Chains A and B, each alone.
Chain A
Amino acid sequence: MRGLTMRVKMISQEQFRKRLAEKENHLAITEKAQDVHRQFLPPGIKVVKTPKEILFPSWKEMYRFFFKERSWEIQEVEEKAFSDPTFLLLLPCEARAVVEVLDTNFLREDYRDTDYARRRARLNLVILGCPAQHPTCFCHLVGGSPVWRDGKSAFVLPWKEQFYVENDEVLFGEGDPVNTQEKREIESWEKALQEKLPPPLSPDFPEKLYAHFEDPEWQDIAFRCINCGACTFLCPTCYCFDLTVDGKLRGSMLRTWDSCMFPKFTLHASSHNPRPTGKERVRQRVMHKFSYFPIREKRYGCVGCGICREICPVNWDIKEAVERMVKRIDSRCDIN
């Protein structure tokens, strides 16, 4: 059994680099985490765009079917020896996307997605504290922070010429104990950091945004978006998917990424479409992350990593959209 006190240690930068190099075949790091911590990393670690690439790949066979002796058969996909990484180094925002959003959707008790569950149980998150906030990110707005961790996963923070490590048993090996002085210093540094962050959205923002469903502002907010869906594919929390058949007499049912930005996402067979234009689709994307999901799950569906703002081909900006709606709510403008 684990002790009740959290296990912490200090390790040197050389040890950090060396241990990662040794475990290279079992490791991956997200692109964002690599950007922030490049100077400490050994070369050659596998890089993934987001944790989704491992936990919720862009396509995956859910089962196979084939026609045999004049009849159909359905078969589970046999598990191959697992070659995916078992440790994923990622930033606090990305870890939050896994723990608070993806897990919530795929591990819900009524229906657990067994493929996700299998991958998730095998993957150890190693959260790398993020001392330098990037200009595009806004984790503070949605209740996160550059040192957010879930208390169960390993957490690593570059500290002076060393690394402060929490909850790690195997990856980094033995370290030095953290003395009281250091502990106090880290705590007060974290406290100062938290205090420096701008305030989060007000707790009733999801409810208030809900009431602004009909706000004409949405038309203008959606105007620039070209509905390409790039943001939804790179978003670490976007989990919408399609189930689609590949193959005729022998084939498989694929679970593939899908996007609320696409017109066919909600198109009925009768040709009626409840979200027929860009306005409804952009509103859905913002509302789901900042109102619908939070009302349902008591947490935001956006972690403020800012990747969508970085990669958008037309510079559409979800933070700007949210700030515009905050203004609309604050000015109490007549929404009718």
Chain B
Amino acid sequence: MIPAATSTERNIYLPELVSIEEILEETRDIKTFRLKRPGNFHYRPGQFAEVFVPGRGEAPFSITSSPTEELYLEFSIKKTGTVTEALHRLNPGEMVGVRGPYGNGFPIESLQGWNLLFIGGGIGLAPLRSLINYVLSPLYRKDFGAVSILYGARTPQDLVFRWELQKWGERTDLFLLTTVDRGEPSWEGRVGLVPEVLKGMPVLNAQTLKAIVCGPPIMIKFTIKALLEMGFQPSNIITTLEMRMKCGLGKCGRCNIGPYYVCKDGPVFTYEELQTMPEEY
């Protein structure tokens, strides 16, 4: 028979209210929200959570902080709709709900021992940042090889985590390249689309690298194409898909692609896995 729900069984839709500790303005439409990390919230880089704004709604966001940060959770959120606009109106000290973590996260075990190439576009750097800071943390740095980061945005003003890019750039154990689609007089970095800059990057040995890609769908598409041309194996290209989601639990149906639910079986897939899926994302 169907086991009856006990009174102690958790309501899977119920968020936990936490306070906003700090809000960082990244660009004119992106803010990073630092929330108090709930005590029982254990996650892997690449997972996401549902953030609930009381009276407004709930939406899924990738967690951009590294799990090695014990005190807080960070979400970088672009103002694009009802929930994100409501979030952008909030101030430190106010409460939001969080439920999660959801999704598979990055396959950390299969990345260990490899040289890593992170390729991010725009706000797509957010989920990568969780893994980058995990890899760079003193506790785990020795588990991974060389780290390279290629990050692009539309204009210099659209680069997120500028304060952290600077810190990464100062490190000797990683190679950082930033590029913008449209430069401006004060911009000293590269100008060009991510896939183009990628092809011109100095001596990348595809055999020893795993590439982790996240950005707008069109950027992902051309970046993967460029990586394949450079000799990357499909199983060594890792990306995270974006789909409209509601429940985060593999139940509500909208993020369905083939036999997968992106919210549960993803959002992280290798290009090898993507090749077996209908191209409907």
Q: B243 near A243 (CB under 8 angstroms)?
A: no
Task: Collect the chain A residues with CB atoms within 8 Å of residue B250's CB.
Answer: 108, 110-111
Q: A111 near B12 (CB under 8 angstroms)?
A: yes
Give me 13 A-to-B residue pairs in the complex whose CB atoms sit less than 8 angstroms apart, sorted by A's number: A74-B15, A76-B14, A106-B251, A114-B9, A114-B10, A249-B55, A253-B13, A253-B52, A260-B254, A272-B217, A274-B243, A274-B257, A292-B256
Closest to B241 in A: A274
Closest to B11 in A: A114
Closest 8 CB pairs between A and B? A240-B253, A121-B4, A269-B80, A296-B259, A62-B13, A248-B55, A117-B5, A295-B259
Determine the distance from Cα of A121 to Cα of B3 in the docked complex, in whole angstroms: 6
Task: Collect the chain B residues with CB atoms within 8 Å of residue A270's CB.
Answer: 80, 216
Q: Contacts A111-B251, A253-B13, A258-B254 given; indicate if A65 touches B55 (C-beta within 8 A).
A: yes
0/1 string, B78-114, CB within 8 A of A gives 1 = 0011001000000000010100000000000000000
Task: Collect the chain B residues with CB atoms within 8 Å of residue A213's CB.
Answer: 278
A103 within 8 A of B: yes
B246 within 8 A of A: yes
Q: Which of B123-147 contact A (CB under 8 A)?
A: none
Q: Contacts A241-B246, A258-B254, A269-B84 given; indicate if A63 touches B13 (C-beta within 8 A).
A: yes
**Which residue of B55, B246, B264 is within 8 Å of A243 (Cβ)?**
B246
Task: Collect the chain B residues with CB atoms within 8 Å of residue A72's CB.
Answer: 17, 54, 95, 97
Q: A67 near B5 (CB under 8 angstroms)?
A: no
Determine the distance from Cα of A265 to Cα of B256 in the docked complex, in whole angstroms: 11
Task: Collect the chain B residues with CB atoms within 8 Å of residue A112's CB.
Answer: 5, 9, 12
Task: Collect the chain B residues with CB atoms within 8 Å of residue A251's CB.
Answer: 55
**Which residue of B54, B247, B254, B281 is within 8 Å of A65 (Cβ)?**
B54
B242 within 8 A of A: yes
A244 within 8 A of B: yes
Q: Contacts A105-B251, A241-B253, A288-B256 given; indicate if A114 touches B5 (C-beta within 8 A).
A: yes
**Which residue of A111, A117, A122, A258 is within 8 Å of B249 (Cβ)?**
A111
Closest to B9 in A: A114
A227 within 8 A of B: no
Task: Collect the chain B residues with CB atoms within 8 Å of residue A67's CB.
Answer: 54-55
Q: B244 near A267 (CB under 8 angstroms)?
A: yes
B26 within 8 A of A: no
Closest to B78 in A: A269
Determine the distance from Cα of A262 to Cα of B271 in the docked complex, in whole angstroms: 29
Interface residues of A (CB under 8 A from B): 62-63, 65, 67, 71-74, 76, 103, 105-108, 110-115, 117-118, 120-122, 152, 210, 213, 239-245, 247-249, 251, 253, 255, 258, 260, 265-270, 272, 274-275, 280, 284, 287-288, 292-293, 295-296
Q: A239 near B251 (CB under 8 angstroms)?
A: yes
Q: B251 near A107 (CB under 8 angstroms)?
A: no
Q: B14 near A268 (CB under 8 angstroms)?
A: no
B201 within 8 A of A: no
Size of the B side of the interface (Cβ < 8 Å), in residues, is: 46
Q: Contacts A112-B5, A245-B57 given; indicate if A284 touches B256 (C-beta within 8 A).
A: yes
Task: Collect the chain A residues with CB atoms within 8 Å of residue B10's CB.
Answer: 114
Most interface-central of A73, A243, A247, A270 (chain B CB within 10 A): A243
- Interface of B, helix, strand, loop or mixed by DSSP: loop
The distance from the CB of A170 to the nearest CB of chain B, in whole angstroms, is: 14
Q: Which of B33-90 contact A (CB under 8 A)?
A: 52, 54-59, 80-81, 84
B2 within 8 A of A: yes
Determine the distance from Cα of A63 to Cα of B97 in the docked complex, in whole angstroms: 12
Q: B5 near A121 (CB under 8 angstroms)?
A: yes
The distance from the CB of A168 to the nearest CB of chain B, in whole angstroms, is: 14
Interface residues of B (CB under 8 A from A): 1-5, 9-15, 17, 52, 54-59, 80-81, 84, 95, 97, 216-217, 242-244, 246-247, 249-254, 256-259, 264, 278, 280-281
Closest to B249 in A: A111
Q: B2 near A117 (CB under 8 angstroms)?
A: yes
The distance from the CB of A98 to the nearest CB of chain B, in whole angstroms, is: 10
Closest to A247 in B: B55
Determine the distance from Cα of A241 to Cα of B244 in the docked complex, in whole angstroms: 13
Determine the distance from Cα of A275 to Cα of B81 in the docked complex, in whole angstroms: 19
Q: B3 near A240 (CB under 8 angstroms)?
A: no
**Which residue of B2, B15, B52, B278 is within 8 Å of A107 (Cβ)?**
B2
Task: Collect the chain B residues with CB atoms within 8 Å of residue A287's CB.
Answer: 278
Q: A240 near B244 (CB under 8 angstroms)?
A: no
**Which residue of B5, B15, B244, B252 is within 8 Å of A268 (Cβ)?**
B244
**Which residue of B246, B249, B278 is within 8 Å of A242 (Cβ)?**
B246
Task: Collect the chain A residues with CB atoms within 8 Å of residue B281's CB.
Answer: 274
Determine the distance from Cα of A235 to Cα of B132 in the docked complex, in whole angstroms: 46
Closest to A79 in B: B7
Determine the distance from Cα of A76 to Cα of B11 in the docked complex, in whole angstroms: 8
Q: A243 near B252 (CB under 8 angstroms)?
A: yes
Determine the distance from Cα of A108 to Cα of B52 in the docked complex, in whole angstroms: 24
Determine the distance from Cα of A275 to Cα of B80 in the docked complex, in whole angstroms: 20
**Which residue of A152, A249, A268 is within 8 Å of B1 (Cβ)?**
A152
Q: A243 near B251 (CB under 8 angstroms)?
A: no
Task: Collect the chain A residues with CB atoms within 8 Å of residue B216's CB.
Answer: 270
Q: B259 near A117 (CB under 8 angstroms)?
A: no
Q: A117 near B9 (CB under 8 angstroms)?
A: yes
Task: Collect the chain B residues with CB atoms within 8 Å of residue A107's CB.
Answer: 2
The distance from the CB of A263 to the nearest CB of chain B, in whole angstroms, is: 11
Task: Collect the chain A residues with CB atoms within 8 Å of residue B217's CB.
Answer: 272
Task: Collect the chain A residues with CB atoms within 8 Å of residue B249's CB.
Answer: 110-111
Task: Collect the chain B residues with CB atoms within 8 Å of residue A280's CB.
Answer: 280
